[in-house]
Structure 1
Amino acid sequence: MAIRVLEPAGEWRAGDVADESQWTLHLSPDDVAELEAALAHAKSRTGDLLDVTAADFPLPELGARLAEVEADLIDGRGFALIRGLPVERYSDDDASLIYWGIGMHLGKPWPQNRHGHLLGDVTDQGKSGADPTSRGNEIGGVAFPYHSDGSDLVGLMCLRKAKSGGISTVANALAIHNELVRARPDLAEILYTPQPYDYRGEEPKGGEPFYFMPVFTEHGGRLFVRYIRPYIESSQRHAAAPRLSPKAREAFDLVDAMCADRDFNVYMDLEPGDMQFVNNYHVLHARTAYEDWPERNRKRHLKRLWLETARLTDRPEKFRNFSGHWAQKRTKSELKLDA
């Protein structure tokens, strides 16, 4: 298959999205009242957040605007911010349930790890990036490179922000893909070939400790991206994994440089209560390094959702929800930092 420019309507540069109002849904007092009514309704139906569906969290007015957000995530700029939830009013559990309820209006939950976490915690869990089994949501302080997660959509809700730093940033992978096709088709072609990824200790029982995915995949005229360079690089610790070629590393270096180019990205400082949603196939995300608060109950803490959107009716097999061994469990992360 010849590589080609894909979905040009979804390309943007920083200047095209400089107006934050284009991609920010500001919750009004009426919206917040609707969310609080939905929270009370959901709690009356079940004591388990994981059992709450969109029907259990009714949003008769706000739901229509969330459908517009979902459409823009898939067929538009690929990222959105929801702002204005007065998170200080709620316990972490209630804030998480509100976030979950909003998420259920955007898609179905997707397991994030071998534990089957459908709602995860992004906070310093004492893990080091040098630990080959650590995962990004467990590591504190250090900057994260641009990457995608293993789902259609990824959402983050800020419960508490860092003392300084920890700025979220997104880069337009679709624009980067198309620029490579136009200017460096030789490197784009390499990124369409399967690359080894480290399972980082979360492989199927008895299976290989690495798997293969291309960075770029075309399917049904759409672009699907999977790019986590640290996991590609750490695959090299396994003797059976194929060695990365100099040309592949040149391609990764160029993608990384383009992600870091301010013309391709947007920075946003998430405030408590803010919810960011990203299309993993068109937008890569990262964060800057941060200094945390020393008190446990003030530490930077975000909740994470991986979601399957109904707006994508066809996906490559490796991009399908509940298709792997992580789906054998259905749980949520139980970290408690607000006490």
Structure 2
Amino acid sequence: MSSADYLQGACVWNGVEMYANPRWVKEFPAAVLQEIDAAVDRSSDLDWTEITRDNFPLPGAAAFFDDVREELENGSGMVKIRGLDVSRYDQQQLRRIWYALGRHLGTPMFQNRRGELMREIKDEGAGVGAKLYGATVDSSGKEFLSSGARTLSPGELRFHTDRCDVVGLLCVRQASEGGVSKLASSATVYNEMLRRRPDLHALLCRPIPRSRFGEEAGGQYVSYDLPVFGVRDGKLTSHFSLTYIENAQLLPSVRRLSDAEHEALRLLLQLAQEQCFEMRFAPGDIQLLNNHVIYHGRTAFTDDATTGQDRMLMRLWLSVPNSRALPEDHAILWGDVSGGMPHGGIAQPATPCMS
């Protein structure tokens, strides 16, 4: 399959279709919820970081998790799981449950240079995100936040992907206003751009400079080149975060993007907005997204802690055992590009591998 061929399959969808056919919504079976409760009790003396599939057994959930992974890899690329009553558990119990679910679904990966395997996504307050993830200034002298820093603010997040096969979010509390998840099929964006502007599509199949700003603790290179669209064995991977592309343009050693490349990136975001749909979380909802075929964003939000409506999500980055093989040139970002192998995540200090 060449990069000029249209993509096929259930991963190609538009927002209207997802509203009409919510095949991506699943409910925890009652028996699995009972197993979760039993495992929570048995693991009460363990920290969440000590949780494994063996000490948090969910034997009746195997078929359910297989179905979830199948939808993520070969279906729509997204799943929302309902049915977990988060009000029944304290914070430590929720961490054990969420990490255990991640371990049963795949392999948790490092989310930042500090080695975090689970991250709370909430408004951390002014300056905290910049301190943790880094900030610089743009050509006009205005503060330029890293992608990680932006997730810890209440502001809007543009369509992007994370560096893992699957990103998982457990909603513990929702904001009083906003905080709506926006999802778009990158396969649909790929096809639409190929149909409307094959010249711009071709540019995104070629290397685009990115920075590692706010990500790696070290790394051999400050920047790297990677196409926005990559196809192997008929399956797409689209790694995209405009923040890292914009930051690369602030580095003197990086080539300048052409006007046509800028136009292609603008068109990608326009098409994602045209084709997306919105999903609002309720407490207890779990959202799982295949980053290879889904762009995700978020509307701005307003918290009201006095009513218990201060948005807080727990995030996991997962490498899953049924993941697709990636193009060879993606090794610079993902490490091992073989199908089904742990890859992705953020490299740690003095740790050459990403797993």
SS of 2:325's equivalent in the other structure is: coil
Aligned residues: 326
1:53 paired with 2:88, answer no
**1:252 alignment partner in structure 2:** 265
Please give the root-mean-square deviation of Cα atoms over the aligned residues, in Å: 2.5
Deviations for 1:85-119, whole angstroms, at most 9, x for unmatched residues? 11011112211211111112221111111112111
Between stretches 71-80 and 130-139, larger displacement belongs to 130-139
Deviation at 1:139, TM superposition (A): 2.7
**1:227 alignment partner in structure 2:** 240
SS of 1:97's equivalent in the other structure is: helix
Deviations for 1:118-154, whole angstroms, at most 9, x for unmatched residues? 1112111233684434615643211101100000000
SS of 2:323's equivalent in the other structure is: coil
Q: Aligned partners of 2:350 and 2:315: how far apart in 1?
A: 17
Deviation at 1:280, TM superposition (A): 0.1
Alpha carbons of 1:202 and 1:230: their partners in 2 closer, same or farther (altered >3 Å)? closer
Alpha carbons of 1:72 and 1:124: their partners in 2 closer, same or farther (altered >3 Å)? same
1:277 paired with 2:288, answer yes
Q: Is the 8 A contact 2:238 2:292 kept in 1?
A: yes
SS of 2:304's equivalent in the other structure is: coil
Deviation at 1:3, TM superposition (A): 2.6
Q: How does 1:57-68 map to 2 (within 5 A)?
A: 57-68=56-67
**5+ residue gaps, structure 1:** 331-339
Deviation at 1:54, TM superposition (A): 2.4
**2:32 alignment partner in structure 1:** 31
Q: Aligned partners of 2:270 and 2:205: how far apart in 1?
A: 19
- Specify which structure has the bigger relative contact order, considering alpha-carbon pairs within 8 angstroms and separated by 6 or more residues: 1
Q: Aligned partners of 1:324 and 1:149: how far apart in 2?
A: 9
Q: TM-score, normalised by structure 1?
A: 0.88
Between stretches 123-132 and 299-308, larger displacement belongs to 123-132
Q: How does 1:69-84 map to 2 (within 5 A)?
A: 69-84=68-83
Q: Aligned partners of 1:2 and 1:164: how far apart in 2?
A: 41
Between stretches 157-166 and 177-186, larger displacement belongs to 177-186
Q: Aligned partners of 2:150 and 2:51: how far apart in 1?
A: 24
Q: Aligned partners of 1:120 and 1:60: how far apart in 2?
A: 27
Q: How does 1:1-339 map to 2 (within 5 A)?
A: 2-19=3-20, 21-43=22-44, 47-126=46-125, 127=129, 130-133=143-146, 135-136=148-149, 138-203=151-216, 205=218, 207-261=220-274, 264-294=275-305, 299-312=310-323, 314-316=325-327, 317=331, 318-319=333-334, 320=336, 321=342, 326-327=347-348
Q: TM-score, normalised by structure 2?
A: 0.84
Q: Percent identity?
A: 31
**2:339 alignment partner in structure 1:** none
Deviation at 1:297, TM superposition (A): 7.0
Deviations for 1:228-270, whole angstroms, at most 9, x for unmatched residues? 0122112222111211211111111111111111xx2221110
Letter in 2 for 1:57: F
Deviation at 1:205, TM superposition (A): 3.0
SS of 1:141's equivalent in the other structure is: coil
**5+ residue gaps, structure 2:** 136-142, 337-341
Q: Is the 8 A contact 1:79 1:276 kept in 2?
A: yes
Alpha carbons of 1:82 and 1:54: their partners in 2 closer, same or farther (altered >3 Å)? same
**1:337 alignment partner in structure 2:** none
